[in-house]
Amino acid sequence: DFTAQPLAPEDQIPLRSKVFEFSTPGGLTVRNPEPMQRFEFDYKNGPCQAELVWDAFMEPFDTGLAKGWDEWGEGGHYEQCARVTGQLTLDGERYDIDCLAGRDRSWGPHNIKGIARGGFTWGIASPEHAFLSQATSLTPPHEDPFFGTTEEIRAGWYRRDGHTARIISGTRRVVERGTDGEPTRVVL
């Protein structure tokens, strides 16, 4: 069953919050002309300039936070996918940007004392097909072997044919790591 589950009105943050429209002394300006749908970014600082537009192609999806990560944001959490277009100029060389991107947003008290090991894994093939999974280990850190483990997917969503639904179950296993320990190949 693939039914969209956008945020309930009582879970939404104010749409005109300063978190969505601001300028920094370092040259970044963010505008949000269409709340939760479109962001415009301008950046000018030294040899780097960027003009980017972020256009959502899905509604925010209230994934919540997986067990072990609930300290991250007690007020709410969502993810949303978009197409990013525009230009980036670096040292006088211009690059055209046209890509797919995801964003997530948490708010409320962040009382981080010991987040469980795990990870968010995104995949965005097109506006019609995308996913996000959040897998965590509930093994206490001093007992967690880290390598060679399989974690349960405890939160996430899958988007197929433009419809988004909650992931019910699954696993995440890192099958290759770089010399620094970072995952280089993951099987979901």
87-120 pLDDT tens trace: 999 999 999 999 999 998 877 666 666 666 677 7
Q: Residue 121 class from Cβ within 10 Å (0-12 exposed, 13-18 middle, 19+ buried)? A: middle
Using DSSP, state whether 165 is helix, strand or coil.
strand
Six token digits for residue 14: 């104010």
Report which listed range, 8-12, 31-35, 80-84, is most confident. 80-84
Separation between Cα atoms, residue 113 and residue 98, nearest integer Å: 39
Strand 28-34 and strand 22-23: pairing? Answer: antiparallel
Residue 1 has pLDDT above 50, yes or no: no
- Is there a contact between 84 and 54 (Cβ–Cβ < 8 Å)? yes
Q: Is the pTM of this model over 0.85?
A: no
**29: Cα within 13 Å, side-chain hemisphere:** 7
Residue 131 has pLDDT above 50, yes or no: yes
Buried b (16+ CB within 10 A) or exposed e, 127-155: beebbbbbbbbeeeeeeeeeeeeebbbbb
- Is there a contact between 174 and 186 (Cβ–Cβ < 8 Å)? yes
Using DSSP, state whether 39 is helix, strand or coil.
strand
| pLDDT (0 to 100) of residue 11 | 46
Alpha helix segments (H runs only) across the chain? none
Using DSSP, state whether 184 is helix, strand or coil.
strand
